[in-house]
Amino acid sequence: MNKVILIGNLTRDPEISTTSGGVSVCRFAVAVTRRYANADGERDTDFLNIVAWRSLAENCHKFLKKGSKVAVVGNIQNRSYDAQDGSKRYITEVVAEEVEFLNTKADGTVAQSDEKEEEVSKLQPIDDDGLPF
């Protein structure tokens, strides 16, 4: 099984492009802090490359920016290519299946749950004296 779940912050604005077949692809990196401290008592951070495709790519490009907090569910993919100097280069990246935008309204974006809370706060109480139960 190849499954990864990450929560972190974008290190740069997402970059979107289109393949020759017209498919959208968005690339960004996420900084994920490790759970445990190192020998110096500091928590290390890993910088992981993420790739999203099609409508997910378009949504990531539209709604994310540098510093955005996200949860990413996907799988790890390794690929290689030949560099201009003739050496072989290897890339490890996470191919996103789901991306959850975790920013709050205070961060400058409105999460869907915040919108629902505002709708609920507009509701008026019901006078339950006349109810039969």
4-123 placed in CATH 2.40.50.140: yes
In angstroms, rounded to a whole number, what is the distance separating the alpha carbons of residues 38 and 41?
5
The pLDDT confidence band at residue 62, using thresholds 50, 70 and 90, is very high
Predicted model pTM: 0.75
pLDDT score at 117: 56
pLDDT of residue 128: 64
Residue 56 has what pLDDT? 97
On whether the CB atoms of residues 46 and 32 are closer than 8 A, the answer is yes
Question: For 97, which DSSP code?
Answer: E
Kindly report, residue by residue over 81-131, the tens digit of the pLDDT.
999 999 999 999 999 999 999 986 566 554 444 555 556 556 666 666 666
Neighbour count for residue 31 (Cβ, 10 Å): 14
Give the integer Cα–Cα distance in Å for 34 and 23.
34
pLDDT at 121: 58
Q: Is the dihedral of CA 85, 90, 93, 97 positive or negative?
A: positive
The helix (run of H) or strand (run of E) holding residue 117 is helix 112-121
pLDDT, position 103: 85
Give me the chain's average pLDDT, please: 87
Domain segments of the chain as ranges: 4-123
pLDDT digits (tens, 9 = 90+) for 4-55: 999 999 999 999 999 999 999 999 999 999 999 989 999 999 999 999 999 9
Q: pLDDT value at position 110?
A: 44
